[in-house]
A and B are shown apart, each in its own frame.
Chain A
């Protein structure tokens, strides 16, 4: 009996491994040395200029090899005029490797520039900058300014939104469902907004080799699954820990919104970094109004928490900080070391986090009786949530 069991286990392992071995053989055959089976066509080199900084008497270009073969960056030009330059650490770029090209150039503020790089086969790549603006230096004053902007955009609006909590607590179950659904509607809008933003950034700044849309989808799904799993554990253990179930849900919402606000911070920091100051003032006002609704989202489930007023205030403040303060970090990163790739990733993580929260909210409503999510309060809540978001988003 035992040997039988052992051999069947061996069979199982073997049957799992055999296809894998064939896969390895196939890969080795197709890509291995000496194989010219797939030697069709000519691989075209490609580089992407991911970041262009204007510093004192110098233009600095962060360039990445986004093509299928190694390249050498051998020449730089500004407005199609050749310039002696330096490249650090060296001119040889393996796939996905980056380098910094330093072009000494007396640039003029707010003028447009075309930056060109030529590789060893003579191919020239160029990127247009609409208006040159000095790169931000992370001095204390600017760090402080970004912290204030982050506070104004992230923390304060969320706190204001949380002030609706006493109101939500006093209403009937039906009205409470309305507010939960409203929250879901708000979040649904934010999630789609984040995905749109991520795709936009990837289209504008990332090379095709990153498969922008698939990157966004993959990161969103992974983020969703990761937080869904972690969130479920949090709720399951809520009884064991000191967390109440509504608080656990509110915490998850706060984390999701925090990830989202991080993305918003990135956008604001990058806008300031790119020198469009007027645009960022507009962004800040828009985000502040927009984000007040996020406070309501957190307040929704928290209204079922039976804690004392005092501990509730502590909880509200900490949840507000969790949801709001990432905007500050986002603004720092966006302003001082913007990278399109990390922006896309963070935006997609934020989107996944938000969808996860929506699923949790719907489950909450269903557990409380509205099995089909078809009551007037739920349907109208989602609709109004999306409408409110759409209308406030016009301000951004």
Chain B
């Protein structure tokens, strides 16, 4: 009886008097949007300016193009062979402290950027190591059986070889096309497929930006937005470019739930080639609007050095992570080194 009584009293004491963890004596400071300096004895929870240790490196992804294992057919056609492995069990820290179950092609969201020249044969050895059925559906021109829709590849090592001629010229998404489709896309099974024209494009500092969102609480509303998955990443790791150098961005909108996304560039305008299928730009603008899987190529040069923002002008998206900075320098060859922004 006494035991029970003391147990009850003990438990109710725990309920009534919340236990505070040991306060840390060390003072920390952080800077807000408006420049105010805040001091705290606790912890700073700041996905904007905190450099997080994430598994996925958006800076590496930005300029990484995969041309595949190259061989040649007897008629001289180039064959580019890729291996893509799907998985769906990875927990990734997508923003400081936030863990989300990403479904990946070759371990990353987005998957590898696949690049070929128009007319090449693209051969994808697809392996599904996930626990669900997955496929790869390429946007572009190819035979029906290579469309990755009706031939779901089984879990636990299912295999399929996608083989088709690269075309048309432009920038295209690829993604899983297993139902429920939205679920397979929002978890991260997508990537970029670039088809270069045979005559090539002008030399440029080229990059890929996949505009995506993360619905971490599964309420069919995105909690985060980003260029290349990690919110605010290019804000605290500005992308370094040079003045008077042609910049070419392959931009693909993979945001779900919200009908549109957009891309606004500061201090400059860009030539825009919708879907990249035409070699003559359609627009000269600083603002494009993109619906689901809409994509294109942007080309621009900066005349003046300095920091320039690029972000969604749907400001909600930029305040949830889809924002970045170009750090433009005059000196073309000197390595500037990493800039610690905001700290």
Contact = CB atoms under 8 A, between A and B. Distances in A.
A292 B18 CA distance: 38
Nearest to B17: A96
Contacts of B36: 57, 104
B21 A74 contact: no
B14 interface: yes
B19 interface: yes
B319 A81 contact: yes
Contacts of A73: 45
A62 B55 CA distance: 32
B319 A99 contact: no
A90 B43 contact: yes
A43 to B, nearest CB: 16
Given A121-B216, A123-B216, A75 B95 contact: yes
B295 to A, nearest CB: 26
Interface string A102-124: 10101000000000001011111
Contact of B98 (A86, A97, A102, A118): A118
A86 B45 contact: yes
Interface string B18-33: 1111111000101111
A72 B97 contact: yes
A75 B41 contact: no
B156 interface: no
A91 B43 contact: yes
A58 B36 CA distance: 11
Contact of A87 (B14, B45, B94, B99): B45
Given A74-B98, A89-B24, A82 B319 contact: yes
B4 interface: yes
Interface of A (DSSP majority class): strand
Given A74-B45, A80-B316, A89-B23, A96 B18 contact: yes
A329 B150 CA distance: 72
B38 interface: yes
Nearest to A17: B3
B183 to A, nearest CB: 15
B45 A124 contact: no
B267 interface: no
Contact of A86 (B18, B44, B95, B223): B44
A220 interface: no
B99 to A, nearest CB: 6
B276 to A, nearest CB: 32
A45 B34 CA distance: 33
B45 A99 contact: no
B324 interface: no
A82 B18 contact: no
Contact of B42 (A88, A106, A120): A88
Contact of A122 (B15, B23, B223): B223
Nearest to A62: B18
A380 to B, nearest CB: 43
Contact of A104 (B3, B14, B32): B32
A291 interface: no
B272 interface: no
A382 B310 CA distance: 74
B217 A89 contact: no
B96 interface: yes
A223 to B, nearest CB: 14
A107 to B, nearest CB: 12
Interface stretch (B46-54, B110-118, B238-246): B46-54
Contacts of B22: 89
A92 interface: yes
Given A84-B33, A86-B44, A102-B38, A94 B223 contact: no
A377 interface: no
7 contacts: A84-B44, A84-B45, A84-B48, A86-B45, A96-B19, A102-B42, A122-B100
Interface of B: 1, 3-4, 14-16, 18-24, 28, 30-34, 36, 38, 40-49, 94-100, 214, 216-217, 223, 231, 316, 319-321
Given A80-B316, A91-B97, A124-B217, 8 more contacts: A82-B231, A85-B45, A89-B20, A91-B45, A96-B15, A97-B18, A118-B216, A124-B223
Which 9 pairs from chain A and chain B are nearest by CB? Answer: A122-B216, A74-B97, A88-B42, A86-B40, A84-B46, A81-B319, A104-B32, A89-B23, A123-B217
